[in-house]
Chains A and B, each alone.
Chain A
Amino acid sequence: EVQLVQSGVEVKKPGESLTISCKASGYNFTSYWITWVRQMPGKGLEWMGRLDPRDSYTKYSPSFQGHVTISADKSISTAYLQWSSLKASDTAIYYCARDFKSFDYWGQGTLVVVSS
């Protein structure tokens, strides 16, 4: 059974750094890209970027380029989404998904709250 299990709720202050994770199981991790999607409170879905686990090649949405870093450790079938300095506007649910031109399996989402 394909599963993507994300790390838990994070409550952070502006300026802090953060890394959230997405652990894949039930399939060959290197056979599919991993994508990250943001959903701000009460809003729609926004594609952030994607990573090819074979070589960690990444492609970012222009809206998120330079604001986040996507990485992976294929030895443990885990992808990461990282911020070096959070802002209040980063408050959202972040989803990872298995990516093959459509997103067929999704993680449960990680709620990130950034508040002073």
Chain B
Amino acid sequence: ETVLTQSPGTLSLSPGERATLSCRASQSVSSSYLTWYQQKPGQAPRVLIYGASRRATGIPDRFSGSGSGTEFTLIISRLEPEDFAVYYCQQYGNSVFTFGPGTRVDIK
């Protein structure tokens, strides 16, 4: 089973700042199957980025994803107040999905 590690665990930033979130896999992941989700308190997660770099419908272009192999990155170019949330990466491989433990982005 592919284990995903996310860093940092918590990111404390101010609105307008740039956020860089990392997702590292224990073995190579197909870029087609690397997804990022955002979850706000009391809400279901929503997909932000799929296929490592493709924005989901309705996702603002301040969100971007990149990476390949075992290293993937989610960047939020300028944090808006509504972006403070928990972010999870997820991969699909060998017929199973795994999630990373999440990165919390909170207001500094």
Contacts and interface: CB of A to CB of B under 8 A. Distances in A.
A46 B99 contact: yes
A47 B45 contact: no
Contacts, number: 56
Interface stretch (B15-23, B69-77, B87-95): B87-95
Contacts of A95: 44-45
Please classify the interface of chain B as helix (H, G, I), strand (E, B), loop, or mixed, using the class held by over half of its residues.
strand
Contact of A106 (B35, B44, B99): B44
B86 to A, nearest CB: 8
Interface residues of B, number: 25
A106 B46 contact: yes
Contacts of B101: 44
B44 A101 contact: no
B35 A44 contact: no
Nearest to B46: A106
Contacts of B44: 95, 106-109
A47 B97 contact: yes
A96 to B, nearest CB: 10
B47 A103 contact: yes
The 6 A-B residue pairs with the shortest CB-CB distance, nearest first, are A106-B44, A102-B35, A47-B97, A102-B50, A45-B99, A44-B102
